[in-house]
Amino acid sequence: MTTATTPTTTTTLDTELLQALVDRLLAMADDEVILGHRDAEWTGHAPILEEDIAMANLAQDEIGHALIWYQLIEDLTGQDPDQMVYFRDAPAYRNVQMVELPKGDWAFTMLRQYLFDLYERLLLDRLLTSAYRPLADAAAKIRREEIYHYRHTSTWVERLALGTDESHRRMQAALDRLWPFAAQLFVPLSGDAALLAAGFFPAMDELRAAWQEAVHSFLTNMNLTLPQTRPVTAERDQHTHWLPILLGEMQMVARIEPDAAW
């Protein structure tokens, strides 16, 4: 997969704006590759065959989206996407903690994916008009699949939340666990003000408000209770102990045989 455009504005970006852009792209790319890896862990283990295939599709989509964001970084800095994914250690990753948590049960996986898909969909909507053209082009391409992901995962959340006593209990337990972590998606990065001023990225406050409004109304309609727990406000370089374990598995083959072709 390759991105269709080559940025023409790179030479005009000042150092501060360039760094801000790379930081945000890395956050997006790392979120997607780690979530995609967790989703891929269901391959061969999903509750039914159809959903096994759907989940493998979804995982592949997320990893494909990550590649698009990594390639935008490559266009700006020359960093190789494979190097970024397979040869960085946990402290250098910039994903939120929510996506690195173990896959849990099906309710946990579907709710995590729902919370993330909604965030991503709302972000991509706003990136369609980004003044950084490669970002707008990539958003247009990715957004189609995200609309489908959102439909798939919200459909599942609805059915589990309103299903049997057990499925409801599991969905509420997933929400209790995930809710504080979801807040970290909106923790600002140091370069966000520069990105907003340049028209490259939307205001994170407004994005968070839109996300909260949509999530509140959807989940409360599903008879779920939003917990009053303290949100995770850690910076994106802070990780749980789960990330190094995940990376150990994800990077193992690439590190054993760095020159292998795929």
Partner 1 sequence: MPDTEWPRYEVFKQDRPGRPHEAVGTIHAPDPEMALLNARDVFVRRPECYNLWVVPQDQVLTMTRMEMELNPNWADEAIPEDAPMRTFYVFTRQHHRRSMVAATHVGEIQARHHREALRKALESGRFTDKPVYLWMIVPADAVTSSGEEDVEPMFAPAQDKRYRDQSYYGGLIFDKNALKRREREMG
Regarding 51 and contact with partner 1 (CB under 8 A), the answer is yes
Q: What is the closest distance, in whole angstroms, from the C-beta atom of residue 144 to partner 1 in the complex?
A: 5
Q: Are 59 and 40 in contact (CB under 8 A)?
A: yes
Residue 216 CB neighbours (<10 A): 11
Which amino acid, residue 18? L
- CA neighbor of 37 nearest in space, from 63, 70, 66, 69: 63
Q: Which residue has the tokens 């849990």?
A: 104
Distance CA 117, CA 113 (A): 6
| Residue 253 contacts partner 1 per CB under 8 A | no
For position 197 contacting partner 1 by CB under 8 A, the verdict is: no
Residues 129-148 close enough to bind partner 1 by CB under 8 A:
141, 144-145, 147-148
Q: How far apart are CA 159 and CA 69, in angstroms?
A: 33
Q: Binders of partner 1: how many residues, by CB under 8 A?
A: 21
Does position 255 interact with partner 1 (CB under 8 A)? The reply is no
Q: How far is the CB of 71 from partner 1 (least distance, A)?
A: 15
Nearer to partner 1, 152 or 236 (CB): 152
- State the DSSP code for 186: G
Site residues for partner 1, window 150-189 (CB under 8 A)? Answer: 151-152, 155, 159
Binding site for partner 1 (CB under 8 A): 1, 48-51, 53-54, 57, 141, 144-145, 147-148, 151-152, 155, 159, 259-262
